[in-house]
Amino acid sequence: MPTALDFSVLDDEGFERLIFSLLASTDGYENVSWLTETRAADRGRDLAVDRVTVDTLAGIIRERVIVQCKAWRRSLSPTDCQAAIAPLSLWEPPPIDVLIIGTTGRFSADAVMWIERHNNAGARPKIQPWANSNLETILASRSDLVTRFHLRSQS
């Protein structure tokens, strides 16, 4: 069962390091790379990773995933989501299949609707929003990362 985690203990680099560690230690994610300095002009890319799934009929499916990390307390707007996706063409080829926007905050209702319209239109890359509540659910079974990044409040 997910419980509230204290993401305020993470600065920008700490949040990127958490997401890097999560991806690098999760089955189905390979070749995680963190190529730019935190707060550098990363052109929409903090992390890159290959997501590998096995389909019993289609075989091995590889997706190129780019991760944009936002250690923000405020909600992301549609403008923030558009800004995250706009520069991704600079990282192609090969094509980007998925953009994960991870945040210590949340997504506004308008941002969620914008992402849903983008994905429903079949536009590439598909956007996966990881809000703080999603990360709490993901990290519920990862006490090693919760402990290492001091995400449990000491009250």
Strands 59-70 and 47-55: antiparallel
Show the domains of the chain with their CATH numbers. 7-148 (3.40.1350.10)
Neighbours of 21 (CB within 10 A): 16
pLDDT tens per residue, range 36-66: 655 555 455 689 999 999 999 999 999 999 9
Q: What is the structure's pLDDT at 87? A: 87
Q: Which two tokens stand for residue 91?
A: 């990282």
What amino acid occupies position 25?
S
What is the end-to-end Cα distance of the chain in Å, rounded? 19
Per-residue pLDDT of the chain (155 residues; tens, 9 = 90+): 557 899 999 999 999 999 999 999 999 999 999 876 555 554 556 899 999 999 999 999 999 999 999 999 999 999 999 999 988 888 888 899 999 999 999 999 999 999 999 999 999 999 999 999 999 999 999 999 999 999 997 65
Query: CA torsion, points 82, 133, 99, 84, in degrees to nearest 10?
Result: 30
